[in-house]
Structure 1
Amino acid sequence: MNDASPAAPAADATGDTIADLMLRLREAREAAATDPFGDPVLLIALAISRRLDDGRLDAGSVAALIARIADTAAGERARRLAAYVGLDRGAGTLDALAARLVRPDPQDSPVPFATYRQVVERPRFAAVFTAHPTFSLPPATGAAVAAAAAGAEFPAGLSHRPATPTLTEEFVQAVAAIERGRDALDALNGALLRAARGVWGDRWQALLPAPVILSSWVGYDTDGRTDIGWWDTIGLRLTMKRLQLQRLATQLAAIGDCAAPVAARVAQAESAVARQLEALPQQPAPEAVQAFAAVLVGQRDAALTSPRPVLDLFPEAMARAPDEAARLALAVARAGLAAHGLALAHTHTRLNASQIHNALRQRLGLTASPDDMASRRGLLAAMNAALAEVVTQPVDFGALLAEQASAVRLMMTVAQITKHVDASQPVRFLIAETESGYTLLGALWLAKRLGIDRLIEISPLFETAEALERGDKVVEEALRSPFFRDYLRGQGRLCLQFGYSDSGRYVGQLPASYLAERLKLRLADQLKRHGLSDIELVLFDTHGESIGRGGHPDSLADRLDYLSPPQARAALQKAGLRLREESSFQGGDGYLLFGTPDLAAATVARIAEHAFATPSAEPDPIYAESDYGADFFATIRREMQVLVEDPGYAALLGAFGPGLLDRTGSRPAARQSDMGGPARITHPSQLRAIPNNAILHQMGWLANTLHGMGAAAAANPDAFADMLARSPRFARAVAMAARAAASSDLGVLRAGVDTLDPGPWLDRAGATTRPGRREELMDVAAALERLDLSSAVRRMFRRLQADHLALRAAWPDLPRMPDRLVLLHALRLALIHRIWLLAVQIPEFSPRHGATREALVRGILQLDVERALALLAEVFPARPDPATGLDFHEPAPGPGAEGGGASYAAEHAALFKPMAGFFQLVRECSAAIVHEVGAFG
């Protein structure tokens, strides 16, 4: 028997360090509340730096700190995700929802069967899976976050930094989310069918419910991408077809013998598609394309180009079914096939308006720019004349191989898909940066030229503030054309897309939502004026998952109502328009909402509740007092536009912001300079929208959602408080700013601004007693002086500070950034300081590849560390050239002699390797901040 006392719990050095730093941070923040000259973030950053100096911390222990914080943040993100989709409610509400559709008043009779059929068979909502560069998590970590949302423990040891996905990897992630979404849609359709069965007997078997559908543009979006060839698009579309057939085969196999004839035809089609995919070329080599065409065309009938032959087999299978359960399973499978055709999801392609204009210039000789208002009328007349005379031309793969115009090539690709893969569902043709009706008429001409105008849905994207303001005029220009009106009548719908990227970052997220809502209502009026009120209006909102790009942060229900306010929906309904809403779930982050079967089920349940909801008839004060709302959002817009033009704002975004970010997609965050390093950013337009927003997250100030709120609220504080209390629409918009404030802190931003200022570095130089540190600090100050960003950034900071002080005066309950997130910012700032102190110790060297030591240090100050280290490895090789180890049959020089292969191992050990390590930790901090904010960009 052992009489020794129980062993004490193992010491948790990492936890103790975090607790100590958190305590010091809280004390510093409390002290700063009464000491306006204190800087708690820099104070903690300096404390961390001193611990690194005296050995209490090293790179390994800092890595452990960051990993622990990141794991905790990921776990909390998972809990927020569960609450966001209402996971505790699950999909159990679907039967209750279906029952309400059958009998809206429990005390009344059921609605007529024809009414119910019309309600459930018309698509009301589409979830669109996009491939925007927001793949901010490795797939395994994303899966762990999704699992943790359902209550699993988030595992330690996973990487939190993204690995830039290939197109194939994007597609694989999208497919996994879509498959879970399809399972959830089956549950929804099953509930709708069961509700009908309980009231109308066998008539339920005729129903094809499709109130919610799924779409995807992954692999089909060529706007701004050069890594997607037409063969990729056709190959991925064939893969989506095969996945749909495999899904159907699995469903039928579970039903039994009654489904055997249907299963046999599906198996024949799947086998044919497999042969088509085997022949798919990996590059556009003529012989390979010729061979592919032979298989694609030769196997077309076996592979099916419409689901009709399979759908026609279902009635007999249902008649042979042994019981109601089998009949219901058949009906659910049939509904999914009818709603989505021969694909796992509907197809969206996308390109830029300029690509349409280039194609028209080549085909029709129209050289005038549609941006030139003086020539706009003539261009529109010319397009109408061309539409009156257009003659359809056949398309084959030889023509596709030879075509150089990207817009025509994409149209041809769509033509081949509808001809040889699936013609049952129209392909959405999204056109970014549409600012003229000429673009829409041009797209229609190309579609008619290729014979696919009945199979393609031409949709403008209104994204910039200018486009949101005058989008109705763009559509008006197209609607004046009888050819475009006839096209819409043939389609039965007008499709429109609304973006929140450029509008949000240039005029602010809140005004962008207001502008989009106003535009939607004006467009509805236009349809009535042109006698088109009987067509369907499809409104597709392509926002992000976070407040940085328009996705409401409180809940999925709030997000759906924020993008499509109940009062606006009621107005459209009153106008007699049939409305279909569409919403994006963006690559990576957005897929988390479909990350497990339970998450997907909850997400689809919330979507269905929104899609079937009767818009509230309750008046909202923000509409009754429209002048106040217009002035409020106009003030934010004005202030944001002034900020965007402030040179200090561009300087802040470009100072070292892009260096904080790992690649989360296929494109770099900013344009590159001729020297290969980061270009000096002089305007936010030189950054892409998602990195722009992500940098604001990383700098700790979400200006695109917060700035201008102070001026707007201070203009009439009483009206602001009253509207916040009484208007659901206004409160939902302002809640965006509240969430932004919880991810923002003036102290964090000030610390970043101070870091760019030579003054605090000189102050540190005057206070340090560490040998050699004074010279290093002074060298950093001198390098920052040459970088010359401080004065402009400080002026801009004062602009942000003044507006935020006004907002806090009008709104005292505005949330503040939590301590853990502040600590992350301070920790990363300390790491950046260490990198800079190492950078100024780089020895002088002769210019290499056009780069000097001064230019290299300047690049490191902007966190262009990886490129700098690659160049330094060439300038200062760590070991001698391998050739010196060969026997050249003569005495060899010794190390250090001429030709002796000098080694710079000491520089690598003391400078370059630590710099690389610290930089990786900087990026680890950034990944943890993404968890804290909740999304990327």
Structure 2
Amino acid sequence: LPLAVARAGFMAHGLALAHTHVRLNATQIHNFVRQKLDIPDDPANPAHRRALLNRLNEALESVQPVPVDFGALMGDPSTAGRLMMTVAQITKHIDNQTPVRFLIAETETGYTLLAALWAALHYGVADKVEISPLFETEDALSNGDRIVEEALRSPTWRAYVQRTGRISFQFGYSDSGRYVGQLAATYLIERLRLKIHDLLVRWNLQNVTVIFFDTHGESIGRGAHPFRMAGRLSYLSPTHVRTEFANTGIACREETAFQGGDGYLLFGTPHLAGATLATIAENLFNPLHQEGDPVYEQPVFSADFFSSISEGMQALVEDPGYAALLGAFGPALIDRTGSRPPARQSAEAATSTRLTHPGQLRAIPNNAILQQLGWCANTLQGLGAAARRHPETFESFNTSSPRFHRALDFARHALTSSDDRVLQSVINLLDPSYWLDRATAEPKAPRQAAFLTLMQDLEKLNLSADLRTMFRRIQADHLALREAWEDAPHGAPLNRALHAIRVALIERIWILACRIPFFMPRGGFNRDVMMQQILRLEIPAVLKEMVHIFPSGTVASNLDFYEPRGPREQGIYEREHREIFVPMQQMFALLREISVGVMHDIGAFG
């Protein structure tokens, strides 16, 4: 048995520990091909698309492979060139049997796929890579069939697919849910899978294995179904889609990732791992039973309902107050998520520390921050407007459609983990008027002065008006949902209590900061910079500066200079450290511990 298991692992993974998977963005592919083929036009411009596709198809017919060595790899200035040559070296020196998944993020045109194929042919590895578009934006999910068909019109692309016997697609629940909402994302992903099926039939590619690779993380906001593993698998891989592929005889390979702490959790003990694998096997090998479902029988309502959710979420994403909300405290509320920085690299991010659009933030911290702010917007926003359009049909589908009910499970869990009063308390905290009201009612002069100071510093952040407008948008949609869905659950008391304690800690940290003595600017760090950082809860960075500006103790306090010992003065800033800086550090550590508690209460273990 151990030998059989080892052989199975070797046959599945080749010489690697798992399926090798590399990734870059569409723009990096475009830049590489533009330089190599002297194609200056922008593929994103529809006016140029047909001419660009024709130009690239001509290049595909005449491309000749070039030799690759480590010197060429090290000397190539382009990201796409280096990555494709890395794949070439892997196939040459390590494993020439197992294909490498070549994932291209932000794919929004078939030109991207053909450009990647040209690069693969140029370096002689086309038959060793699975070129896989990542569909995650609203445009890509809505128009993915056009993207695929643009590639299929190319004889070279069809020959590549026939030769390798595979065609691969990836769907990102994290980013798609971030832009169109989780409930709309599941519908758009399923619809795109069905359209891909129809395209393969139309182009007579039924003999090709289709690979669907889904990424979903440890939380409802990233596409992980909140209840049983069986429901999670059925949500990611609807029976309706699998039946369509089975009926036409197209082999469909489905892959999914168990990411973050969620992955460790589900395989943490032999019993858990056995139960997880048994449930996966049950989902895969049990006969498909296609049941009648109103979602498919009444496609007009389904399309309108999920489109309304998508519109509601997209409107929220473009609301300046939403970026202000995500960026007010930003990643300061949470521990580091993964190996990549929370902010995406962009021209705007390079010139400003203030978040101006959710697209500047990565999907994982985006989701985690929403949870910490008490409102799972990427699961809930737009649902109220969609339900209000068809309240009777909404209730009917909720009780009669397994597919619809399974999607609404996300909303049920999100509502138990969300509380509009928590979100409102955060917005109040960032409102200068709130602190002015407290100053007006405060009889003690020192506290009144602190409240007025916070009011003035919050005015400089200039967040309040946008936050209030955004909150009205969220609140209106939430009230519409409550009206249409009478038995919708409410937020849990434990979660509410954790948020309340943390709001009190933030207030205490801010009030303590008002007691920091005056200091001269130090290397661009002055009082205004300090307060702006403290209001954004960048406490570790501030305390690091405070250690240098207000040193405690003397360097020579414990040294012996071999002469009669003179007096050792105690640090003149001991009181500031004892009464201000140390308590701020302790309260910030507790604030972060509460964030972990909120995550676990929601069920986000990553």
User: Under a length normalisation based on structure 1, what TM-score does the superposition of the two structures give?
Assistant: 0.62
Q: 1:376 aligns with which of 46, 49, 54?
A: 49
Structure 2 residue 505 is matched with structure 1 residue 827: no
- CA shift, 1:454, in A, is 1.5
- CA shift, 1:936, in A, is 5.8
Question: Is the 1:465–1:502 Cα contact (8 Å) retained in structure 2?
Answer: no
- Which stretches in structure 2 are left out of the alignment for 5+ residues? none
The 2-side partners of 1:634 and 1:934 are apart by: 28
Question: Is the 2:323–2:357 Cα contact (8 Å) retained in structure 1?
Answer: yes
Q: After superposition, give the CA deviation of every residue in 1:503-543 in whole Å (9 maximum; x if it has no partner).
A: 21121111111111111111111111212122111111112
Q: Kindly provide the amino acid, as one letter, of the partner of residue 340 in structure 1.
A: H
Question: Is the 1:567–1:616 Cα contact (8 Å) retained in structure 2?
Answer: no
- CA shift, 1:813, in A, is 1.7
**Equivalent residue, structure 1, for 2:603:** 934
The 2-side partners of 1:430 and 1:360 are apart by: 17
**Equivalent residue, structure 2, for 1:475:** 148
- CA shift, 1:778, in A, is 2.6
Structure 2 residue 426 is matched with structure 1 residue 757: no
The 2-side partners of 1:892 and 1:491 are apart by: 83
**Equivalent residue, structure 2, for 1:694:** 368
Closer, same or farther in 2 for the Cα pair 1:892/1:931, shift >3 Å? same
Question: Is the 2:337–2:365 Cα contact (8 Å) retained in structure 1?
Answer: no
SS at match of 1:513: helix
Question: Is the 1:677–1:867 Cα contact (8 Å) retained in structure 2?
Answer: no
Q: Kindly provide the amino acid, as one letter, of the partner of residue 807 in structure 1.
A: L
Pairing 1:69-148 to 2, within 5 Å after superposition: none
Pairing 1:632-781 to 2, within 5 Å after superposition: 632-670=305-343, 679-768=353-442, 772-781=446-455
Pairing 1:879-894 to 2, within 5 Å after superposition: 879-880=553-554
SS at match of 2:254: strand
The 1-side partners of 2:572 and 2:53 are apart by: 69
- CA shift, 1:804, in A, is 1.0
Q: After superposition, give the CA deviation of every residue in 1:154-207 in whole Å (9 maximum; x if it has no partner).
A: xxxxxxxxxxxxxxxxxxxxxxxxxxxxxxxxxxxx7xxxxxxxxxxxxxxxxx
The 2-side partners of 1:678 and 1:367 are apart by: 30
**Equivalent residue, structure 2, for 1:279:** none
**Equivalent residue, structure 1, for 2:590:** 921
SS at match of 1:404: coil
Q: After superposition, give the CA deviation of every residue in 1:553-587 in whole Å (9 maximum; x if it has no partner).
A: 11221111112211122122223311111111113
Q: Kindly provide the amino acid, as one letter, of the partner of residue 558 in structure 1.
A: G
Structure 2 residue 542 is matched with structure 1 residue 873: no
**Equivalent residue, structure 2, for 1:405:** 78
The 1-side partners of 2:143 and 2:389 are apart by: 27
Higher relative contact order (CA 8 A, sep 6+): 1
- CA shift, 1:343, in A, is 3.0
- Which stretches in structure 1 are left out of the alignment for 5+ residues? 1-189, 191-250, 252-329, 896-900
The 2-side partners of 1:542 and 1:332 are apart by: 26
The 1-side partners of 2:64 and 2:136 are apart by: 33
Q: After superposition, give the CA deviation of every residue in 1:280-312 in whole Å (9 maximum; x if it has no partner).
A: xxxxxxxxxxxxxxxxxxxxxxxxxxxxxxxxx
**Equivalent residue, structure 2, for 1:437:** 110
SS at match of 2:220: coil
- CA shift, 1:332, in A, is 4.3
- CA shift, 1:723, in A, is 0.6
Question: Is the 1:538–1:581 Cα contact (8 Å) retained in structure 2?
Answer: yes
RMSD of aligned residue pairs (Cα, Å): 2.6
The 2-side partners of 1:894 and 1:934 are apart by: 54
- CA shift, 1:788, in A, is 2.3
**Equivalent residue, structure 1, for 2:580:** 911
The 2-side partners of 1:391 and 1:775 are apart by: 74
The 2-side partners of 1:610 and 1:875 are apart by: 62
The 2-side partners of 1:505 and 1:560 are apart by: 21
**Equivalent residue, structure 1, for 2:218:** 545
- CA shift, 1:653, in A, is 1.1
The 1-side partners of 2:545 and 2:560 are apart by: 26
**Equivalent residue, structure 2, for 1:793:** 467
- CA shift, 1:465, in A, is 0.7
**Equivalent residue, structure 1, for 2:14:** 341
Question: Is the 1:678–1:864 Cα contact (8 Å) retained in structure 2?
Answer: no
Q: After superposition, give the CA deviation of every residue in 1:364-384 in whole Å (9 maximum; x if it has no partner).
A: 222222112222222222222
Pairing 1:154-169 to 2, within 5 Å after superposition: none
The 2-side partners of 1:807 and 1:474 are apart by: 35
SS at match of 1:657: helix
The 1-side partners of 2:229 and 2:158 are apart by: 36
**Equivalent residue, structure 1, for 2:88:** 415
The 2-side partners of 1:647 and 1:432 are apart by: 26
SS at match of 1:588: helix
The 2-side partners of 1:350 and 1:598 are apart by: 34
SS at match of 2:604: coil
Closer, same or farther in 2 for the Cα pair 1:674/1:920, shift >3 Å? farther
Question: Is the 1:645–1:683 Cα contact (8 Å) retained in structure 2?
Answer: yes
The 1-side partners of 2:106 and 2:542 are apart by: 36
Question: Is the 1:657–1:699 Cα contact (8 Å) retained in structure 2?
Answer: no
The 2-side partners of 1:357 and 1:677 are apart by: 25
Percent of matched pairs sharing the same residue: 55
SS at match of 1:454: helix
Question: Is the 1:671–1:678 Cα contact (8 Å) retained in structure 2?
Answer: no
Q: After superposition, give the CA deviation of every residue in 1:206-265 in whole Å (9 maximum; x if it has no partner).
A: xxxxxxxxxxxxxxxxxxxxxxxxxxxxxxxxxxxxxxxxxxxxx3xxxxxxxxxxxxxx
Q: Kindly provide the amino acid, as one letter, of the partner of residue 623 in structure 1.
A: Y
Figure out how many residues of one structure are paired with residues of the other and give that number: 604
Q: Rg larger in 1 or in 2? A: 1
The 1-side partners of 2:354 and 2:4 are apart by: 60
Closer, same or farther in 2 for the Cα pair 1:461/1:359, shift >3 Å? same
The 1-side partners of 2:245 and 2:350 are apart by: 52
Closer, same or farther in 2 for the Cα pair 1:886/1:435, shift >3 Å? farther
The 1-side partners of 2:66 and 2:341 are apart by: 39
The 2-side partners of 1:675 and 1:446 are apart by: 30
Q: After superposition, give the CA deviation of every residue in 1:850-907 in whole Å (9 maximum; x if it has no partner).
A: 22202211210111111111122222222346599898x9x99996xxxxx9732222
Q: 1:596 aligns with which of 266, 269, 273?
A: 269
SS at match of 2:204: coil
Structure 2 residue 35 is matched with structure 1 residue 366: no
Question: Is the 1:742–1:816 Cα contact (8 Å) retained in structure 2?
Answer: yes
Closer, same or farther in 2 for the Cα pair 1:894/1:552, shift >3 Å? closer
User: Under a length normalisation based on structure 2, what TM-score does the superposition of the two structures give?
Assistant: 0.94
Q: Kindly provide the amino acid, as one letter, of the partner of residue 571 in structure 1.
A: E
The 2-side partners of 1:502 and 1:904 are apart by: 48
- CA shift, 1:677, in A, is 11
- CA shift, 1:773, in A, is 2.2
SS at match of 1:602: helix
Closer, same or farther in 2 for the Cα pair 1:333/1:784, shift >3 Å? closer
Structure 2 residue 529 is matched with structure 1 residue 838: no
Pairing 1:18-417 to 2, within 5 Å after superposition: 251=2, 330-417=3-90
Structure 2 residue 491 is matched with structure 1 residue 817: yes
- CA shift, 1:833, in A, is 0.7
- CA shift, 1:767, in A, is 4.1
Q: 1:529 aligns with which of 202, 205, 209?
A: 202
The 2-side partners of 1:529 and 1:605 are apart by: 36
Structure 2 residue 297 is matched with structure 1 residue 628: no
SS at match of 2:597: helix
Question: Is the 2:218–2:261 Cα contact (8 Å) retained in structure 1?
Answer: no
The 2-side partners of 1:750 and 1:764 are apart by: 17
Q: Kindly provide the amino acid, as one letter, of the partner of residue 718 in structure 1.
A: E
SS at match of 1:385: helix
